[in-house]
């Protein structure tokens, strides 16, 4: 094909993308009232194993969940549903990021606990995470990070359905010459993540929300993101909204003099992805932080880290750290309304990971196994 043909194709594709994104905002506008778990007779939790170390950490997460929610599971108020088929082998064979039958099963649940899924580099197969976040409209990625001895208590509200992610597998190319991806920010999509961050701040007595973008460079998308966040902030008197660029904020997080002053962060998808790994590392490693993907109808809880194919190759899978998926389990329990149980689990996890530390997972054969750590946590419950 000559360059012109690529240009024509790209222009046509751009039009399609634009219309699709406008349709998405129309669906957002029409979205129903948020689900209220406290009044539901039955809550179905979908358990998705994932790839690599996923099934190993999920096996322990399931044991933990069954123990903490023993009573509700025995009365049938909570039902655990195992969902098979979200594996990289199956997804590659079918050429689908989330196979249709798997998606249908997932949609029949209320909340999900999910192990990490492998995302191939290049190619056209979209990340299963990105697909699920879009299909279930999980617009808020909420990631808490705490370092109690330093007074760090951060919570990140990462926009989860837009930015670089939404069209990340649908860029255009003039082969050998250039490639172009698209970044999308919508008015409604930004308003709802900003509202989620400020609502959290208000409900938890926080005094500031830091808006983090690169609006000096990405003037349309990040520029509008910042503007909308400030508009939302106007409805929350007493909570200060401060503006930062992502580059200096990544520096701030390693600056021990000032970092414990930050409280709540709201940021577009990709910056949120990157900075939450940095933050998790400050807490003790990406193996330690949990991640909640929240929407109005569904919520998905997962480990912040990936499927760790290297650990599998090196035969170290049994030594994978389940702390991140345990934290996600705690967030799930809290989300469906069992605050006391979640608090209890949080205290035990903090004790095991930060204070007592009798069983330590290092990710190597000299440390404890995933199962040994789970046994330790469950003994302390």
Q: Closest CB to ligand IPM among 267 and 304?
A: 304
Closest separation between CB of residue 188 and ligand IPM, Å? Answer: 21
Nearer to ligand IPM, 165 or 200 (CB): 165
Structure tokens that stand for 99 in this block: 């196979």
302 binds Mg ion (CB under 5 A): no
Task: Supply the minimum distance, in Å, between the C-beta of residue 116 and ligand IPM.
Answer: 7
Beta-strand ranges (E) seen in 19-122 are 43-48, 78-83, 111-114
From ligand IPM, Mg ion, none, interface partner of 306 (C-beta below 5 to 8 A by class): ligand IPM
Binding site for ligand IPM (CB under 6 A): 119, 127, 129-130, 273, 291, 304, 306
- The C-alpha angle 262, 253, 346, rounded to 5 degrees, equals 65
226 interacts with, out of Mg ion, ligand IPM, none, CB within 5 to 8 A per kind: none
Minimum separation from the CB atom of position 268 to ligand IPM (A): 12
Confirm or reject binding of residue 273 to Mg ion (CB under 5 A). Answer: yes
Backbone torsions φ then ψ of 264, nearest 5 degrees = -115, 140
Q: Shortest CA distance to 58 belongs to which of 78, 37, 28, 83?
A: 83
Q: Least distance to ligand IPM from the beta carbon of 130, Å?
A: 6
CB of 119 to ligand IPM, least distance (A): 5
Residue pair 58/50 in contact (Cβ under 8 Å)? The answer is: yes
The answer to whether 348 touches 380, Cβ cutoff 8 Å, is yes
Find the residue with minimal CB distance to ligand IPM. Answer: 127
Residue nearer to ligand IPM on the CB measure, 273 or 330: 273
Shortest distance, CB of residue 333 to ligand IPM, whole angstroms?
20
Residue placing its CB nearer to ligand IPM in the complex, 86 or 239: 86
Q: ∠ CA(165), CA(209), CA(303), 5° rounding? A: 45
Cα gap 66→335, rounded to integer Å: 16
Rg of the chain over CA atoms, in angstroms? 21
Give strand pairing partners of 241.
Answer: 209
Q: How far is the CB of 50 from Mg ion (least distance, A)?
A: 14
Nearer to ligand IPM among residue 52 and residue 99 (C-beta): 52
Q: How far apart are CA 137 and CA 314, in angstroms?
A: 36
Nearer to ligand IPM, 86 or 130 (CB): 130
Nearer to ligand IPM, 274 or 360 (CB): 274
Nearest Cα to 226, choosing from 236, 215, 239?
215
Non-local CB neighbours of 127 within 8 Å, separated by 6+ positions: 97, 117, 119
> Which range touches Mg ion (CB under 5 A), out of 13-21, 114-122, 261-269, 272-280?
272-280
Q: Which residues bind Mg ion (CB under 5 A)?
A: 273
């Amino acid at each position: 094909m000559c360059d012109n043909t690529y240009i024509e194709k790209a222009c046509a594709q751009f039009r399609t993308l634009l219309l699709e994104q406008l349709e998405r905002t129309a669906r957002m506008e029409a979205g129903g009232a948020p689900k209220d778990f406290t009044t539901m007779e039955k809550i179905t939790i979908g358990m998705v194993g994932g790839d690599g170390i996923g099934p190993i950490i999920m096996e322990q997460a399931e044991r933990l969940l069954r123990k903490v929610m023993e009573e509700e599971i025995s009365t049938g108020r909570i039902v655990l549903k195992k969902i098979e088929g979200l594996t990289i082998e199956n997804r590659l064979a079918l050429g689908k990021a989330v196979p249709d039958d798997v998606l249908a099963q997932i949609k029949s649940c209320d909340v999900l606990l999910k192990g990490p899924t492998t995302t191939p580099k290049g190619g056209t197969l979209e990340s299963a995470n990105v697909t699920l976040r879009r299909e279930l409209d999980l617009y808020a990625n909420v990631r808490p990070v705490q370092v109690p001895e330093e007074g760090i208590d951060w919570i990140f509200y990462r926009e989860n359905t837009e930015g670089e992610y939404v069209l990340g597998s649908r860029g255009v190319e003039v082969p050998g010459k250039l490639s172009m991806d698209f970044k999308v920010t919508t008015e409604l999509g930004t308003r709802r993540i900003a509202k989620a961050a400020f609502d959290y701040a208000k409900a938890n007595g926080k005094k500031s929300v830091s808006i983090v973008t690169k609006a000096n460079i990405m003037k349309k998308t990040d520029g509008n993101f910042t503007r909308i966040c400030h508009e939302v902030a106007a409805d929350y008197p007493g909570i200060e909204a401060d503006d930062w660029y992502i580059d200096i904020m990544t520096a701030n997080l390693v600056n021990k003099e000032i970092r414990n002053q930050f409280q709540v962060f709201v940021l577009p998808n990709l910056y949120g992805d990157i900075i939450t790994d940095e933050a998790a590392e400050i807490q003790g490693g990406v193996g330690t932080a949990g991640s909640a993907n929240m929407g109005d109808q569904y919520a998905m809880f997962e480990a912040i880290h990936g499927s760790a194919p290297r650990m599998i190759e090196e035969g170290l899978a049994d030594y994978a750290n389940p702390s991140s998926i345990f934290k996600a389990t705690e967030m799930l329990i809290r989300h469906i309304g069992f605050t006391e149980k979640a608090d209890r689990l949080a205290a035990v996890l903090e004790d095991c990971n930060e204070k007592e530390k009798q069983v330590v997972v290092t990710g190597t054969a000299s440390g404890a196994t995933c199962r040994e750590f789970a046994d330790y946590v469950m003994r302390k419950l």
